[in-house]
Amino acid sequence: MRYVTVVGVASLLVLARPAGALVLCKKKSGAVVARDACKKKETTLTAAALGITPQPGAKGDKGDKGDQGDPGPDVRAYAYVDQNTVAFVAAKTKGFVSVTRPNTGRYCLTPAAGIDTDAVPVVVTVDHGRSVGSSDFAYQEVDRFGCGPGTFEIVTTSGGSFDSEISFVVLVP
């Protein structure tokens, strides 16, 4: 009876042991001992090995509702330009009506009515997964050397040279 009590109490130590606490080890002879770590020929006893199944605790109270988050900036327009088709990907475009590529690495994007291309900047980023080069860049050319008024001119380069094998995303905040 004394052996069962020691095993029962020791098994509770295994269930809720903090780091560095004792573990139960079973010797080849069948004896169970508590140690910092089991020796090579000993088996670590787990709660499951002892037939102990922990029961979940009671469900806690529901927490308070958090504050309403900031809705974020209003996005006027965005476009995904795929270098393979020189076209907008329809499902990923809002607020743009056309895109052309008059020269290698130069794109002219015409926004929908109401977006003043001289008053708002754009954010441009490269889709490296659908682009060919390894040092690709895409940026807005504010002075519009290759595009007319009422458009956003986007330039794409790779390795310092104009490159048309670059897909990109444009965002008008």
Q: How far is CA 33 from CA 15, 54, 60, in A?
A: 15, 22, 37
Look at residue 58 and tell me if it is in a domain: no
- Whole-angstrom distance, CA of residue 39 vs CA of residue 116: 76
Together in a domain, 34 and 103: no
- Give yes or no: residues 28 and 81 share one domain: no
Whether residues 16 and 90 fall in one domain = no
Q: Say yes or no: 83 and 152 in one domain.
A: yes
Q: Is residue 142 part of a domain?
A: yes
Lateral strand order in the sheet of 23-26: 32-35, 23-26, 43-44
In terms of domains, do 26 and 91 share one?
no
**125, 138 in Cβ contact below 8 A?**
yes
Residue 140 inside a domain? The answer is yes
Are 89 and 18 found together in one domain? no
**Domain check: are 96 and 151 in the same one?**
yes
* Confidence at residue 20, expressed as pLDDT on a 0 to 100 scale: 62
Question: How many domains does the structure of the chain reveal?
Answer: 2
Residues 29 and 92 placed together within one structural domain of the fold: no
Whether the CB-CB separation of 144 and 155 falls below 8 Å is answered with no
Give whole-number Cα distances, 6 to 13, 19, 22, 34, 151, in Å: 11, 22, 14, 10, 82
Does 70 reside within a domain? no
Q: What is the pLDDT of residue 113?
A: 94
Each of the 173 residues of the chain gets a pLDDT tens digit; together they read 444 444 444 444 444 445 567 888 888 888 888 888 889 888 888 877 777 888 888 999 999 998 988 877 778 999 999 888 777 777 788 999 999 999 999 999 999 999 999 998 899 999 988 888 778 999 999 888 889 999 999 999 998 899 989 999 999 99
Residue 53 lies in a domain: no
Q: How many residues does the chain have?
A: 173
| CB-CB contact of 90 with 79 (8 Å) | no
The verdict on residue 63 lying in a domain is: no
Give me the domain span that covers residue 125.
77-172
Is 153 found in the same domain as 81?
yes
Q: Are residues 119 and 160 in the same domain?
A: yes
In a domain, 66, yes or no: no
Adjacent-strand bridge partners of 68: none
Q: Is residue 61 part of a domain?
A: no
101 shares a domain with 33: no
**Within its chain, how far is the Cα of 121 from the centroid?**
27
Distance CA 67, CA 25 (A): 51
83 and 151 together in one domain: yes
Q: Are 106 and 124 in contact (CB under 8 A)?
A: no
